[in-house]
């Protein structure tokens, strides 16, 4: 499968402050996003995620390295023709209505009148803004602005969609809707590159991820290869027994009333805990094994780096 | 098409600026007050009306160009609306040209409206429509176009307050640089003269667009002077815009 984005040894320094001091933001980033996949780009705040995206879009000139978007150098404005972009905390002309704003973005792609009207209608329906389409954007809530932002990113029916924190500021229902839209992109053959702080969302929909820490890619690969099925520990909630009864069997995380939340790291001790509860006439309220999640990998990678 | 879209949105945005209407109000006040001033004058009253009217159009037009022009590009960067725009297949030059044309369009509408008020006041006094006055207005407009380009140039790398000061400086120097031409005529050839000549060539000479006195007093102007002033304005504007594009193309949007 061809690459939708190919970034090779990307470097960027900023000189900031009154007496300029050089700060290395990107320290040689290399990764590729394959066509048709959903790619998650993770990293703590200030790791260089947004700087990478800005380099990709030509908003920032890299000091070194090459970027190719669907086989074209990112420096040519034509490379942005098959591309849709939703910025983090989208800012738009707030005196325009969503319909006017979409018409304006359609003009930047030179769409014909009929095609423009048709697409605006479909996109407003897709992001659920039909009823608010003729309100000025300054009256929109953050979640609604995010939807308007998503609609403008799709106005050119892009092959590659770049979303910077698309789920930020959304309520749980809104997040689910956006997640569904992203998955639908994949079904339509589009490539999605997105950053998010909400790791469960990334875990739910991404095919591959890259983790950036301190301007370097520290992990990259298919989600199923990164996240193993290994059981990390088993959590048990028990009632009717004091925490001291479990000494040596597991770590007591919290005790409330007569309930004890227990974390058992050694799988062989799970049976012993169950025997103890039965023997001492306690009650087992829940028992759940916790497998490794993307969050575990993320926290471990960031702390180690 | 893309430039037109940017120009359209800029026109829409400039139209919403309260400063524009405030300045327009004062310009209109100036034009109307010229009649009152004329009443206090001994001699040719219509000349006062024409003088003050044209000066109002010129002064308030320049203030509009500077105060709105210097905020245009800066606001896009400050409010981060530029991220969404430049992520589209839009050349940075198209962005600058769109902004420029949008403001020129706004100033055109404003100058036209001010001129209509001005001609109406003159008509009330002379009962004649004096089309010749429009020649002076046209050259005022040409000056506004150049000042707009200058405002956008400064706005592409500086804050609105600094840009306004720079653009105002450009305007003042532009109206005083004709003094250098006088000095040149009196200087003996040598290094000093070469320096003053170079300075005069680089600095703008906005008096080239000032036909107010000639038009008000009905003096004849050779067409060659009209033409050279027009070409001067056009070339200077293109030069300033090219400089703005050059600077803007190298910018990082952090």
pLDDT digits (tens, 9 = 90+) for B161-182: 999 999 999 999 999 988 888 8
Report the mean per-residue pLDDT for chain A: 87
Let me know if residue A176 belongs to a domain: yes
Scan for tokens 């409330």, then name that residue. Answer: A256
Residue of B87, B93, B97 to mutate, testing the A interface (most A Cβ within 10 Å of its Cβ): B87
Minimum CA–CA partner of B86 in chain A: A59
In a domain, A92, yes or no: yes
Indicate whether A154 and A216 sit together in one domain.
Answer: yes
Mean pLDDT of B73-77: 87
The answer to the question of residue A298 being in a domain is no
A274 and A155, same structural domain? Answer: no
Higher pLDDT, B218 or A132: A132
Distance from CA of A99 to the nearest CA of B (A): 14
Whether residues A210 and A252 share a domain: the answer is no
Q: Are residues A68 and A26 in the same domain?
A: yes
Residue A83 shares a structural domain with residue A173:
yes
Calculate mean pLDDT across residues B178-188: 85
Residues A245 and A216 in one domain: no
Calculate how close chain B gets to A98, using CA atoms only, in Å: 14
User: Is A300 part of any domain?
Assistant: no
- Calculate how close chain A gets to B166, using CA atoms only, in Å: 21
The secondary structure of chain B as a DSSP string is -HHHHHHHHHHHHHHT-HHHHHHHHHHHHHHHHHHHHHHT-SS-HHHHHHHHHHHHHHHHHHHHHHHHHHHHHHHHHHTTHHHHHHTSS--HHHHHHHHHHHHHHHHHHHHHHHHHHHHHHHHHHHSS--TTHHHHHHHHHHHHHHHHHHHHHHHTTS-HHHHHHHHHHHHHHHHHTHHHHHHHHHSPSSHHHHHHHHHHHHS--GGGG--HHHHHTT----HHHHHHHHHHHHHHHHHHHHHHHHHHHT----
Expressed as residue numbers, the domain containing B57 is 2-249
Inter-chain CB proximity A59 and B13 less than 8 Å: no
- Assess if residue A301 is contained within a domain: no
Q: Where does a domain end: A226, A252, A269?
A: A226
Question: What's the average model confidence in pLDDT over B89-94?
Answer: 92
Assess contact for A88 and A168: CB atoms under 8 A: yes
Looking at the fold, whether A47 and A136 belong to one and the same domain comes out as: yes
Q: B88 contacts in A (CB within 8 Å)?
A: 80, 105, 108-109, 156
* Domain shared by A221 and A274, yes or no: no
pLDDT digits (tens, 9 = 90+) for B18-41: 888 998 898 888 888 888 887 887
Q: Please determine, for the modelled complex, whether the ipTM score is greater than 0.90.
A: no
The pLDDT of residue A1: 63
Q: Are residues A113 and A156 in the same domain?
A: yes
For chain A, which ranges sit under pLDDT 70?
A: 1, 229
Q: What are the residues whose beta carbons fall under 8 Å from the beta carbon of B79, sequence distance 6 or more?
A: A91
| Structural domain count of chain B | 1
User: Where is the domain boundary, A201, A226, A251?
Assistant: A226
On whether both A113 and A219 belong to a single domain, the answer is yes
Name the residue among B80, B87, B88 with its Cβ closest to that of A91.
B80
Of A205, A226, A247, the last residue of a domain is A226
Residue B186 is assigned to a structural domain of this protein:
yes
In a domain? residue A288: yes
Domain count, chain A: 2
CATH of the domain at A192: 3.40.50.300
Whether the per-residue pLDDT at B96 is higher than 90: the answer is: yes
| The pair of three-digit structure tokens given for residue B237, joined into one six-digit string | 């504007």
Same domain, A219 and A238: no
CB contact set of B82 (below 8 Å; sequence gap of 6+) = B76, B95, B253
pLDDT at A226: 78
In a domain, B205, yes or no: yes
**Domain span at residue A246?**
231-293
Is residue B254, in this structure, part of any structural domain at all? no
CB contact under 8 A, B83 and A95: no
Looking at residue A287, which CATH number applies to its domain? 3.30.70
In a domain, A299, yes or no: no
Contacts by B89-93 with C-beta closer than 8 Å and gap 24+?
A: B89/A77, B89/A78, B89/A79, B89/A80, B89/A81, B89/A108, B89/A109, B90/A77, B90/A80, B90/A108, B90/B2, B90/B6, B91/A77, B91/B2, B92/B245, B92/B248, B92/B249, B93/B245, B93/B248, B93/B249
| A162 and A183 part of one domain | yes
């Amino acid at each position: 499968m061809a690459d939708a984005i190919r970034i090779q040894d990307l470097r960027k320094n900023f000189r900031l402050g009154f007496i300029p001091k050089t700060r290395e933001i990107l320290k040689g980033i290399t990764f590729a996003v394959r066509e048709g996949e959903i790619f998650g780009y993770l990293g703590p705040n200030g790791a260089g995620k947004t700087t990478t995206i800005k380099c990709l879009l030509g908003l920032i000139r890299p000091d070194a390295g090459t970027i190719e978007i669907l086989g074209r150098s990112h420096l040519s404005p034509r490379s942005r023709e098959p591309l849709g972009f939703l910025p983090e905390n989208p800012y738009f002309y707030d005196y325009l209505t969503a319909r006017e704003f979409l018409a304006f973005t359609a003009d930047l792609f030179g769409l014909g009148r009929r095609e423009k009207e048709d697409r605006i209608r479909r996109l407003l329906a897709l992001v659920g803004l039909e009823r608010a389409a003729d309100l000025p954007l300054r009256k929109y809530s953050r979640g609604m602005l995010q939807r308007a932002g998503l609609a403008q990113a799709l106005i050119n029916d892009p092959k590659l969609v770049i979303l910077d924190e698309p789920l930020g500021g959304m309520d749980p229902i809104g997040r689910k809707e956006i997640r569904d839209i992203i998955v639908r992109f994949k079904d339509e053959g589009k490539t999605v590159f997105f950053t998010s702080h909400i790791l469960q969302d990334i875990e739910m929909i991404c095919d591959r991820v890259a983790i950036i820490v301190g301007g370097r890619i520290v992990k990259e690969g298919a989600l199923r290869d990164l996240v193993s099925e290994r059981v990390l520990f088993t959590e048990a909630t028990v009632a009717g027994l004091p925490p001291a009864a479990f000494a040596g069997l597991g770590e007591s995380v919290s005790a409330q009333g007569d309930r004890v939340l227990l974390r058992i790291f050694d799988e062989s001790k799970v049976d012993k805990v169950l025997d103890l509860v039965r023997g001492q006439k306690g009650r087992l309220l829940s028992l759940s094994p916790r497998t490794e999640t993307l969050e575990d990998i993320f926290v471990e990678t960031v702390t180690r780096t | 098409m893309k430039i037109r879209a940017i120009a359209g949105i800029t026109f829409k945005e400039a139209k919403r600026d309260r400063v524009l209407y405030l300045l327009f109000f004062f310009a209109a006040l100036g034009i109307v007050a010229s009649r009152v001033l004329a009443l206090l004058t001994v001699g040719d009253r219509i000349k006062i009306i024409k003088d003050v009217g044209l000066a109002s159009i010129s002064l308030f037009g320049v203030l509009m160009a500077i105060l709105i022009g210097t905020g245009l590009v800066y606001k896009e960067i400050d409010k981060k609306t530029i991220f969404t725009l430049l992520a589209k297949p839009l050349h940075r030059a198209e962005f600058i040209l769109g902004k420029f044309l949008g403001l020129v369009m706004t100033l055109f509408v404003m100058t036209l409206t001010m001129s209509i008020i001005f001609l109406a006041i003159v008509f009330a006094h002379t009962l004649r429509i004096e089309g010749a006055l429009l020649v002076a207005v046209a050259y005022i407009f040409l000056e506004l176009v150049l000042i707009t380009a200058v405002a956008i140039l400064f706005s592409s790398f500086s804050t609105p307050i600094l840009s306004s000061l720079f653009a105002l400086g450009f305007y003042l120097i532009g109206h005083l640089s004709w003094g250098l031409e006088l000095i040149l005529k009196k200087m003996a050839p040598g290094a000093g003269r070469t320096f003053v000549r170079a300075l005069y060539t680089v600095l703008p000479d906005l008096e080239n667009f000032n036909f107010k006195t000639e038009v008000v007093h009905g003096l004849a102007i050779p067409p060659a002077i009209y033409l050279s002033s027009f070409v001067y304005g056009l070339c200077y504007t293109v030069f300033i815009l090219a400089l703005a594009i050059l600077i803007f193309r190298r910018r990082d949007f952090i």
